[in-house]
Structure 1
Amino acid sequence: MSKRLVSMIAIGATALAAATLFFFKSYKPQPDLPPAAPVAAGFLHGQTVRMLIVGDPFSIALRAGARELGRRAGGSIEIEVVGYNDVRRLTLLNAQDQHSAYDIVSFDSVWAGEYGAAGVLLPLNDWIKASAATIRPDDFLEIGYRQGQFKGRQLGLPIQPHPELLWIRRDLFEKAGLAAPRTTDELLAVAKRFTQPAQGQFGICWNGQRGQALGQQMAHFYAAFGQPLLDAGGRPTLNTERGIAAARFAQSLLPFSPPDVLNMAWDQRPVRFAKGGCVMTYEWAARSYLVEEDPGSQVAGRVGYEAAPHAPGAKPVTSIGTWSLGIPANIGARRDIAWPFLAWLTGSEIERWLAQQGNGGMPRYSVMRDPALAQRYPAFQAVARLGSAGQLDDWMRPAVPQWPALADVLGSVYHDMLRGESTPEQAAARAQQQADALFTAPAK
């Protein structure tokens, strides 16, 4: 392993979010019930599989069950868990080395374009075709499976698909006689009503942190107003009336948000919500363990999971993303270990067992239909409802090679706006100018 990669691993290890680390300490996994019908038990023949994964629910499940999974596979599993930005940086750095330090890496669906264009991951198509009867691609949630593709190449298999929902304090809404907000106007009105700074209670938490966090949040706000980030020809469409309206919406949230919202990201907002600091929060469905199963949560059993509000007159849509597992292209001969392990790990029986261990982002229909799991993960009742209504989609975060840079543009320009350094109109124009430059230059 290169010195550069070792250095980055050290940085990534210390960058794990406090929320995830706290949950590792407090979470009590289910008893080690053996996975049913493991495929080719003992196929690792004493070898170790090395994984690089992000600190999300599926990593909790994998860490909780690593010893049992290793035993069943006939070897051992080494798991490196890092933060969101670090897992991408480490994967890209690893791709520059002659030999991969990892057998399996996790990737967000929005990176599929970047990884595919750069040849970071091995295409799995031939293996999947040869093992279709056991892989059962049609059992995966269609959009989750598709999000692991780039130009027809399947770069990974889904481990955790989930949408960003609006979580609400159902108990407080019922006490006030209020329905969950369906539109952005209703959300602002409800957030204002519940904001009580003297009591440390605010109406809404969201990703306001500069960079990727706010960039993704702004992409979802654009979608709420019916504005794609790219047109049909793949060109940026940020400086539009609907885009400016989305910027004004973000600005309008500030009076009803915690004072530190511009430093808030994925890990801070659910923890604040779990402590009663906000009455609503945007958050990804599979992360509901932070409020439902954390012994320190003050809101367990009192949470409602709702569709993302849309602007009046706009089509309802909730963003869905997927974490997938792929095999580094520079893995060499170890591909003969990595692929059987990946196929086994993402099979329905192991996925069901991982759900029992804490992964609420279930990627297979056969697992989602389990009544006990549906009861344990109430957020996924909302996911099923939205899916049936055709309200889950992924166009708001286009998986193009320029996506990480585009998200940084959104997360920087609009952060300046939220700090009062520009107007929504000025910010949209500046974002458009910077985004145009990204799509003029060759994708990196």
Structure 2
Amino acid sequence: MTTPSEQQAPPAQATLPRTLTRDLGQHDGQRVRLQGFLHARRDLGGVQFAVLRDVSGIAQAVGSGLSLPLTESSIEIVGTVKAHPKAPGGYEVQIEDFRVLSAAREPAPVEIPKMEWNVNPETMLDYRYVSVRGLKERAALRVQAQIVRAFHEHLDAEGFTEISTPKIVSAGAEGGANLFKLDYFGEQAYLAQSPQLYKQIMVGVFERVYEVAPVYRAEEHATSRHLNEYLSLDVEMGFIESEEDVMNLQNRLLASIMGRLRERCSAEFALLGATIPDVPAHIPRIPLLEARALVTEKFGHTVGGKDLDPEAERLLSQHYAETEGSDWVFVTKYPKAARPFYAYPEGDVTRGYDLLFRGIEITSGGQRINEYDMLMQSIRDYRLNPESLAGYSEVFKFGMPPHGGFAIGAERLTAKLLGIQNVRYARAFPRDRHRLTP
């Protein structure tokens, strides 16, 4: 073991390329230069251990005579790689030069190596600007990034066009009171609760469209499954026969997403002790009324209201996991009262559906009304103001094809995939009923 040089940036070091911690095994016996954050530190009788964290993982470095800064300081280490069975990844770096790039000015408000999602959750969110650096925290965000990338790539391959729709709107896409109001140069405006109306209009342009963007819901929830701002993965497609075409598309899409996660995120799932689910070639389907009856008859749970309550969603998912080995189930044929005004009616029900995954709804979708007279009647039936929706409804005078689509909540899907109990930890900087910072 060598004593680190006191030089801050020796000339020989400047030509040494940076090595990521995940690649140390490729440099056994060689000198490397690491850059990252001081994740943890120990001093054992004059021998110092510095755990460095970079974008790819962590590595242990060992030296003597070091003046180690506070954890979370940005550091650079030059040293020789040696195999070590007890070190993270099986290798450690024997320090020759140690440099502080930017010292932390005070102790971190949370100990990142010791953080857990079920301990002091509000503290972790209060100091999210630091806690998001944690290995598990960033693993969840990396998984979500790959979900979004797979979403793009699969839909591009199926002939979809990405669009961008306004997030400042004059009326809500779904009606109701869950709209954030804002002053728009003296006029009343709102933050968009969905790109639904715009993506339907754009079906008349590109036939198949999608968008990845935040949406806003002014709902006073304070639960582990709700956010007031979340990332919505929206899809709309034209010239369909029925909602079955939409569900089949989503079936294929989910299979592609899970395949990509297996290729790119096995380390993140292993870190979080989670498994990537199989997607059946044909996800099971059940009408809502039958689903309600099933959970009552099999589990003795009486469902109130017009939809499935959270316990019914959990029990229905349990049933399909036990009987068909599927973590996924489409609940179809929702009544009009449980769907927005644009849902295509079929007698007393609609061609709308929800997708449940491991006990929670992650998608709402279905076929939309494409006929002008039917749409205007539905707007009146829902007691909405036709004038406020004129910018949307006018396009249906001009030959809109049969169409439908769905939206996936990225944070909910991420949380359920990884076993995260609170959806707030599946977003870098969550916005909920009580949180506007950081």
TM-score interval for Structure 1 and Structure 2 normalised by the shorter chain: under 0.3
Q: Name the structure where helix makes up a greater proportion of residues.
A: 1
TM-score, with length taken from structure 1: 0.22
TM-score, with length taken from structure 2: 0.22
Q: Which has the larger radius of gyration?
A: 2
Q: Name the structure where strand makes up a greater proportion of residues.
A: 2
